[in-house]
């Protein structure tokens, strides 16, 4: 759902927020695809080390996506604060060195977002395959795919209207904060799951009654 929402906002972000032509928006978005392919290639072949810890990869991917969205939204705002960019919707006339640096920073953030997206998806899918019972694995993935597509409709219908009301940049900031919150909650769940069971919580076998 998050991938679809970002893909829906990205062209408008490039034109209205950055101020580049619609035909050039693909150059800003292309690094995200490169990052997803590279991360998927590396993670699919990792069997040891920190990248083999699926839960850590998921949490790290969420944090990376959050930071990348925040940087992508913050750089144009910084550019307007220093007078580098005009009002939203105004196209950049001549690309100078400072403009190229700004666009390059946003491209780097989209690259990082692509790595984060792939980290979440690959690690989560792998974790589901490892934990799902063999006989129910097909049903588990079918339900996951159906529910994912169903729940993705809600943000797709609402985010566009919200962007019209408050602006694409603010929506990206809200998304960044929301993803970071999910990462924190995910981390807490992993830690709670890893907590050792105390002696008092271990149920002792019932003693047989005496005759």
pLDDT tens across 148-160, in order? 888 888 777 788 7
pLDDT band at 209 (very low <50, low <70, confident <90, very high): low
- Per mean pLDDT, which range of 46-50, 83-87, 191-195 is the poorest? 191-195
Poorest-confidence range of 97-101, 136-140, 158-162, 195-199? Answer: 195-199
Give me the mean pLDDT over the 167-176 stretch: 87
Give the global pTM: 0.78
Query: How far apart (Å, rounded) are the C-alpha atoms in residues 202 and 210?
Result: 24
């Amino acid at each position: 759902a998050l991938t679809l929402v970002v893909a829906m906002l990205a062209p408008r972000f490039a034109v209205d927020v950055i101020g580049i032509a619609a035909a050039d928006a693909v150059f800003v978005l292309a690094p995200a695809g490169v990052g997803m392919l590279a991360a998927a290639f590396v993670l699919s072949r990792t069997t040891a080390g920190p990248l083999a810890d699926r839960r850590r990869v998921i949490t790290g991917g969420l944090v990376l996506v959050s930071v990348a969205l925040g940087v992508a939204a913050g750089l144009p705002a910084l550019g307007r604060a220093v007078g580098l960019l005009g009002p939203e919707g105004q196209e950049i006339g001549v690309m100078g060195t400072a403009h190229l640096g700004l666009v390059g920073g946003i491209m780097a953030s989209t690259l990082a977002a692509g790595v984060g997206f792939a980290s979440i998806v690959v690690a989560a899918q792998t974790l589901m395959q490892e934990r799902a019972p063999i006989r129910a694995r097909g049903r588990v993935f079918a339900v996951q795919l159906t529910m994912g597509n169903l729940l993705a409709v809600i943000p797709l219908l609402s985010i566009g209207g919200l962007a019209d009301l408050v602006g694409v940049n603010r929506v990206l900031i809200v998304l960044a904060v929301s993803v970071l919150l999910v990462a924190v909650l995910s981390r807490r769940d992993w830690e709670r799951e890893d907590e050792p069971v105390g002696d008092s919580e271990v149920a002792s076998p019932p003693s047989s009654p005496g005759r």
